[in-house]
Structure 1
């Protein structure tokens, strides 16, 4: 698949009635897949949509979905059915970073194991394929009907059938309990590993943040990025991960809005605003203090940016579906926003709608730069 075909792939991903998973195999930097796609196609046998992406298609997929939900650089991903736009959870769509061997037969086995149970279910998750026990029962019943003579013989055969059925039920129950235990153990181990990785990632990012910007609180000038400027709205995810530190999280809905609706005239001002938030707003929010508060207000004011509630009656935001974003198992309400300009035209204004996570000490940016509907619109 080339970049011209990616829109069709994205439409397939978000199709509401899609029953089959989508397995996406991307090329590495040398233009080669890290597994045998023909062998994988034979193994899957129509139980999934199989898509091979070249480098250009991977870049286009990243532009449309964002880095968290994309597949690139030789990685392989399964996009599960039920994908809903703006509510994607990257952890629900498993990603494998294949070694640069070009073979990876074990990965083909893993993909087949993950895909086959999904391919044999309808959109409601119900299986329409008989188990072996069901086939055996049907065959036994047919034989009993053919061989039965007297009423006594008929009853004896029915008793035998009931015994077989009881054995099958017990066998099914034991299998289900074993699978449930395996699944629970795997889920527990996976969640534990994810938490370890998250904690380590946050620790390293926080350490890097303090090493790079430890002296920023003493300054009251509009800061500039140390390494590089924000190149474009397509770059905002990587740029924010590199420069904004662990206390600012830009939600996928905000990233998508930036890519689709961000205006070039506002790019530099949005960059400077995010840096002011990093260097002034975050320290004030975490540590407090009159001096930090005054520095924060001054720095935002120099950009013409205000920090205020979205509604005069604060709880009004909770009543509006578009003023919330999912964050793991939590729904974050966007009570407040940073605002510049009063126009509805994105070439003259931007809004950064956010929620403050007090436990995690994170600013969660749920929407930007477009203006959300309010009581006056």
Structure 2
């Protein structure tokens, strides 16, 4: 069983009466958590008094604590709910409401899933109470309202304000800008209402009418703007001189297909949820349930000591504190392990980027040398590799701008069992030439295309899976394969890849053998 954090929310509650706003938010959370399908029982009176309570009901466990002093008021609830459709998957919601007395209350939320699944496939969505709280009392971040639906620009002043907000160095949330297509009656090419609802509290979704997109283009230039029905997600830290490829753009020509529009919506939900975790810090931006519980128990212990309570009562509470601290230490050790794994992934990304840069520099210098000598640019490709030790260098020198290997794929070709490196090289040459030109020129599908006798390109079907490359999630949906049903790694050829539309590259994630899955 592993714990995976799905998203975090760190906002303020709207409303002029801070106590009323906090109370309204607590009521919304309790109403949601107390439904029988989640709680599995009836909440006690203490729950509705907004004090400490615990309800254990066959895995549907709910616990709340209140930390209340003369200067601070924090209420926190942790609710564990088994997934209705996937056995063994358990969702945990940690919600903290409150803060310093007399100041605008905070809302912190963590959504965590515990699962044994090797590949977690979910549609990211904030928990139900966030939608209710966004309606009343409302959510704020950076002094701006966070709504559960897209906002639409009305005039040039609105567009200029959006541009100012995009470049605000204090902005901490992403902004999804949806350019409406030309026409009297125009509708967004994606279901931006569904995206805004799923990411309430995490993002702002803004519709820009076609007649106002020029404001963004004039301010940022075409490379950093969005128009003609396209969709773009502007990450925090954006500026008019920023790398435009850091802020993902989905072109209208691609979004016009329903399946692509749906994939765009799911990708936006994933990237924003992932960013909510990487860009916030526990204990500072987001308050943990365990921290509130520990503080509450310490407060009770100090109070009992002042009242000269019996030693047995003090000992019992001290043991609770020790148990709680041990759990927090274990949790932090697990988090550190996860962070170490993330560092390894980041190092792989840096190594891959460095390798790609070296390959491109080699190609540029080769062209520059030919021009300096007055010769034509070299058109012949290096000979095909005869051994796996030659494969990576051959690929990097031959197709550095067309086909790249992920760090995983680069490790797999160091010494694989599949013996025919020439066949793999010829298949990749097809990916870099015929398939590449077909992609660029819109020449139709390559489904079941024969590359050479016995080798064809096909969609993965049930073997389709997700991967992360350069910090983004992609669906690996095609592979080159040979015939037969053998999974013998010496004879079975599989080259799993996806197309990166922004960089116009084929990215190979796994080769040269059949990928192992939970089914195989």
TM-score for both structures, normalised by structure 1 = 0.43
Structure with larger RCO (C-alpha < 8 A, sep 6+): 1
Structure ranking higher in helix proportion = 1
TM-score (norm 2): 0.33
Higher strand share: 2
